[in-house]
Amino acid sequence: MDCSSSHSFSHGAVASFHGKGTNFLPPKVGTFRASFSSKSEFLNSHLYPSLTSLDSFRFQQQGCNVLKISVSVKSRTSKSYALVVRSDHRHPQNSDCPQHYSKKEKKSFPVPIVELRRAARERLKSNKGKPRTPVPPLKNGLLVKTLVPVAYDVFDERITLINNLRRLLKVVPVQACRFCNEIHVGPVGHPFKSCKGANANIRKGVHEWIPNVTVDDIFLPVEAFHLYDRLGRRIPHEERFSTPRVPAIVELCIPAGVDVPEYPTTRRRKPIIRILKGDFVDADESELPDPDSEAPKRPVLTEISDSEVVAPTDEEETTLLTEETLRAWEQMRRGAKRLMKMYLVRVCGYCPEVHVGPSEHKAQNCGAFKHQQRNGQHGWQTAVLNDLIPPRYVWHVPDVNGSPLQWELRNFYGQAPAVVEMCIQAGAAVPEEYRPTMRLDVGIPSTVKEAEMVV
């Protein structure tokens, strides 16, 4: 076994020691295999007693499947070793939902600025003295042909998700608060005092639930400015009302190759000719054949109107509908993540504004905390998937037909995105990815007295 790296197996985990210079194995501890999913299981294993006999011992958990143990051995030349154990458990048993940042806080960068600068210095150092490579297809104005089918799949999956959610709303009860934007999937709204709407202090944070829910309450709409030319000039502040706004996920698919007649965009078939760093001219395409005579474009799906929505007739059809909805949700997010690695997506660090394109717009419409000091300008940074497709978390109801949620037992309940919770209550299987946040492996006490006895 190579002691300088860890190797994953289908079952269990492999440990290895890392030291300065040559790799060593400390005395009394040899190569082993372990299989565990938590710290308590590790402490009960045969590994922990053997490590406690060393000079010093420190346990640290890194992520959900990596356990790091730092040990040191008494010797003439004091050496320290790091034991890294990688488990095959992909997801933890239980975990909390993504943290909600205050409106007075700026979003954290996906990659720290220090790491970006270090990578840029290494890139300049490695490219020094080498001939300049040709401009890749994305920067020269052409499409990335391998991502065109992915863009069409994401566009179609979004339409499929919206149409299926409209049908599921006919059979799955969803409640909405009259005063705030919180929703709950279930026949009865939850009793948690988390309302922050009008007169919330008078009602002591209690929600007032109504059944008027639309698809936009479940699948949150995020809009962005539409760019007619991805390499053109930036949208100025004066054109913020004349420039159309489209769903951000649609705006991501259009420059990737999807043709939407309502939102035309510039398509180049020859690389652009750059004059200066920011100036370029389009190549002559007169000798190319007419683009209308080429192969027909792939047809896209269309949304159904509310009058055409038909509820599923039986339980089997409902189950198939929920499975298709979950598949559309996962494939849309997976495809959008692939597109975001190639096509730049920016988000404001202070507000939810999203922009798809290499150059951010100049509209001074940011109304977040201390926007007066920034003159309404956005603080642009790299967006993550949840900025483009925000999952709206709702409380998970363990038993829909049983007793409702209790205020005293709120620490034992989990949460899930509203799309996933609707599909699960309609009969779909629970995806493995959402089991930790739903806390399905946590035993819920039957009474408040029993909950007080839980350690």
Report the C-alpha dihedral over residues 128, 129, 132, 133, rounded to 10 degrees. -80
Domain residue limits, the chain: 13-86, 134-168+219-388
User: What type of residue sits at position 214?
Assistant: T
How crowded is residue 397: how many other Cβ atoms within 10 Å of its Cβ?
Answer: 21
Distance of CA 271 to the CA centre of its chain: 33
Give the distance between the most distant pair of CA atoms in the chain: 82
pLDDT of residue 158: 96
Could you say which residues of the chain have pLDDT below 50?
1-37, 52-68, 71-76, 78, 81, 87-88
pLDDT of residue 265: 92
Give the closest residue to 361 by CA, choosing from 231, 229, 240.
Answer: 240
Report the alpha-carbon distance of residue 161 to residue 171 in Å, rounded.
16
CA distances 270 to 138, 142, 231, 285, 358, Å, are 12, 7, 14, 7, 19
pLDDT of residue 287: 79
The separation between the first and the last C-alpha atoms of the chain, rounded to the nearest angstrom, is: 41
Helices (H) and strands (E) in the chain, counts: 11, 17
pLDDT of residue 92: 67
pLDDT of residue 281: 84
pLDDT of residue 300: 86
Give the closest residue to 306 by CA, choosing from 143, 146, 98, 166.
Answer: 166
Secondary structure (3-state) at 59 = strand
pLDDT of residue 89: 52
pTM score above 0.85: no
Phi, psi of 321, rounded to the nearest 5 degrees: -65, -40
In 257-399 the beta strands, taken as DSSP E runs, fall at 273-274, 280-281, 345-348, 354-356, 380-382, 393-395
pLDDT of residue 378: 94
Secondary structure (3-state) at 85 = strand
